[in-house]
Amino acid sequence: MSYNPAQSIQSVPLALAEDSYDIKIGFDLRHQLHELFRPWNQGQQWIVLTQQAIFDLYAAEIDALRTSGYKLDVILVPGDESAKHIGEAEKVWSKMVDLGCDRSSVLVALGGGVVGDLGGFVAATYMRGIPFIQVPTTLLAMIDSAIGGKTAVNLAAGKNLVGAIYQPKTVLVDPGFLATLPRRNVISSLAEAIKYGFIRDRSIFDLFVDRFDDLIKLDDKSLLTEILTKSCRIKAQIVSNDQFENGERRLLNYGHTIGHAFENLRAYQGLYHGEAVLYGMRCANHISWQKGLLDTQAYEAAQKVLAKFELPDLGDIDPQQVIDVVAHDKKNINGKLNFILLNEIGEATISTDVTPQDIIDSLAVAA
């Protein structure tokens, strides 16, 4: 594959019969939104759902849509996880009624995972479903949450407990948005990219082995486009094969079972999602090796690359608490723990025989 980020737009298909769409990846796409949105514009009302900080950065791009003839209003939501609440969804639905939105209106989610998840949920439910478009502005959203149609709000009892699988019409990925993101946010998000290397595409893992420092700097446009395109392609293939997460899509949970437990035990404070997943993958690699799936050479290579990511200290983690949280993971089925392990780098498997002792052993070595 040859990449010419200055000129080209990469197009990654996500095949889902009549819900199929393309993920488009290219520097400066944000300046071409009026062209890229055109297939869905029939003069109807458009809504850009975003947060104040993002609006402040990209007001010119939004204005350019208006001057190109789009009938468009902006709805702002809080800039943190509190936006993923049914009360916020209700406020957005009501504003959309006030703005005259009907079933043909298009909702554009411009932001990170919070805006994408809430925007998708609002679009899935407003008048039983309206078209929506994802324009992710964070690395995590670009390679993971904006792709695949998972939409949700949180409940007090847990994250993402109410939602729908509802696919966007397209996902527009402009790596230029990343220039304004805090570095720690970007680095931790690369966890999801190396995850794709572990579970499906050895060439992504090899990129981290060979070019870790360049990847972390994010200043090589060609390399950045390459890692984004490869990551989106793996996510798109997996979602195409298993939209509703009956099998293969569960592999995307690699590193997340124990990672979620760390996030939960830290009350979602002070530890980024990607950082928790990096710790979780270190543990899952250890379990894969201890169970005789991953050979020693591959295990050592995997842990060596993961050790390059700077991670905050996890502090005192009580293994029994980790076991308790893992036992209540919402991905468990009929009380059985569904744990993702590696057969080799580039090939994952679903295991139902990971024991509490396996987890305790992995925590002692990897967390």
Site string for ligand GLY, 135-154 (x = CB under 6 A): ---------x---x-x----
* Nearer CB in complex with ligand GLY: 105/154: 154
Nearer to ligand GLY, 30 or 273 (CB): 273
Looking at residue 255, its amino acid is G
Give CA–CA dist 358/352, Å, rounded: 12
Q: Which is nearer to ligand GLY, 253 or 288 (CB)?
A: 253
Pick from 230, 249, 260, 273: which binds ligand GLY (CB under 6 A)? 249
Cα three-residue angle 88-94-97, rounded to 5 degrees: 145
Structural contact between residues 349 and 287, judged by C-beta atoms closer than 8 angstroms: no
Taking the complex as a whole, how short is the minimal distance between the CB of residue 249 and ligand GLY, in angstroms? 5
**Residue 298: closest CA among 198, 231, 193:** 198
> Of 172, 252, 278, 345, which lies in the binding site for ligand GLY, with binding defined by CB under 6 A?
252
Closest to 341 measured CA to CA, from 298, 281, 297, 301:
281
Burial degree of 4 (CB within 10 A; 0-12, 13-18, 19+): exposed
Active site residues: 128, 150, 192, 235, 245, 249, 253, 256, 260, 273
What are the start-end ranges of the E strands in the chain? 10-14, 21-25, 45-51, 71-77, 106-111, 132-136, 150-155, 158-165, 170-173, 339-344, 347-351
Q: From the CB of 313, what's the least distance to ligand GLY, in Å?
A: 26
Using CB under 6 A, which residues numbered 325 to 354 contact ligand GLY?
none
Per the DSSP assignment, residues forming a β-bridge with 174 are: none
In the bound state with ligand GLY, the residue whose beta carbon lies nearer, of 160 and 303, is 160
Query: Whole-number minimum distance, CB 339 to ligand GLY, in Å?
Result: 16
110 vs 277, which CB is nearer to ligand GLY? 277
Residue 117 binds to ligand GLY (criterion: CB under 6 A): no
Count of chain residues binding ligand GLY (CB under 6 A): 5
Contact footprint for ligand GLY (CB under 6 A): 144, 148, 150, 249, 252
